[in-house]
Amino acid sequence: MLYLLLRMGTERYALEARRIVEVVPLVTLKPLPHTPACVAGLFDYRGTWVPVIDLCQLTHGQDCAAHLTTRIVLVKYPAGAAHTHILGLLAEQVTETVKFKDADFQCAGLQVPEAPYLGQLVKADHITAQHLEIEHLLPDAVRQNLFPECA
């Protein structure tokens, strides 16, 4: 399966390409006052306002740096059995795709309840990354605020 590699802080993560709508350059976001720090803002994507989550802020409490390789990865965020929303994920060093086999992934041996989006680890072809499970990415309160019909 094909994965997009990205960074949150110093760590590398793998996101399934089939979940990705598009990767867009870093654009100016409309801030949303009184939202959690991980909500970077909104941007107009083809006539629709899309919320953007800063993955570095979500995981490490620091904003993503504005590098040339910082991107917004638009993903299909699940909202029930048959519906999805487009969600923007702000990430650093979004630079390459890699094919991994299911057998390349291994259990990390540690469960982190505060980070249910952290999946299995992969080490193949000199790449070590952790699978990013977007369906578990947003804390309940953030998900309910961004997508109230999902509550």
Backbone torsions φ then ψ of 148, nearest 5 degrees: -60, -30
Task: Please provide the average confidence, as pLDDT, over all residues in the chain.
Answer: 89
The CATH number of whichever domain residue 144 belongs to comes to 2.40.50.180
Residue span of the structural domain in which 57 resides: 2-150
Q: Which one is predicted more confidently, 74 or 82?
A: 74
CB-based contacts of 51, cutoff 8 Å, min separation 6: 32, 39, 41, 42, 87, 88, 146
Beta-strand relationship, 71-78 and 84-99: antiparallel
pLDDT tens-digit map of 22-38: 999 999 999 999 999 99
Q: What's residue 112's pLDDT?
A: 80
Q: Which one is predicted more confidently, 64 or 9?
A: 64
pLDDT tens-digit map of 83-126: 889 999 999 999 899 999 888 899 877 778 788 888 999 988 78
What is the tally of structural domains in the chain?
1
